[in-house]
Amino acid sequence: MIFVDKNLGTKIGEVDHFFDRISVAALKLTGDLKIGDTIRIKGATTDFTQTVSGMQSEHVDLIAATTGQEIGLKVSERVREGDGVFVI
């Protein structure tokens, strides 16, 4: 099921883990994501937008990822487990 909130966008996943030393979020995707998409990451204490500039799966660079994939995404700010990821 695709969750759409006109204020947040379309939910495409959530943060599973955050690697603070390298500023990478591990995500489980429930929607599609590609390089160049603008995303918003929103949680209880997190709320920022950024353009997707790089992502990986199994140490392989991706230009697009699909529903069901687990990916690593370079993020510009700290995120927390359970934060929602929305394409805007």
The structure tokens listed for 38 are: 């603008």
Yes or no: say if 25 and 8 are a contact pair by the CB < 8 Å rule. Answer: no
Give, for all 88 residues of the chain, the pLDDT tens digit: 555 666 778 999 999 999 999 999 999 999 999 999 999 999 999 999 999 999 999 999 999 999 999 999 999 999 999 999 999 9
CATH of the domain at 10: 2.40.30.10
Yes or no: say if 57 and 69 are a contact pair by the CB < 8 Å rule. Answer: yes
Question: Domain count of the chain?
Answer: 1
Residue 36, domain extent: 4-87
pTM exceeds 0.85: yes
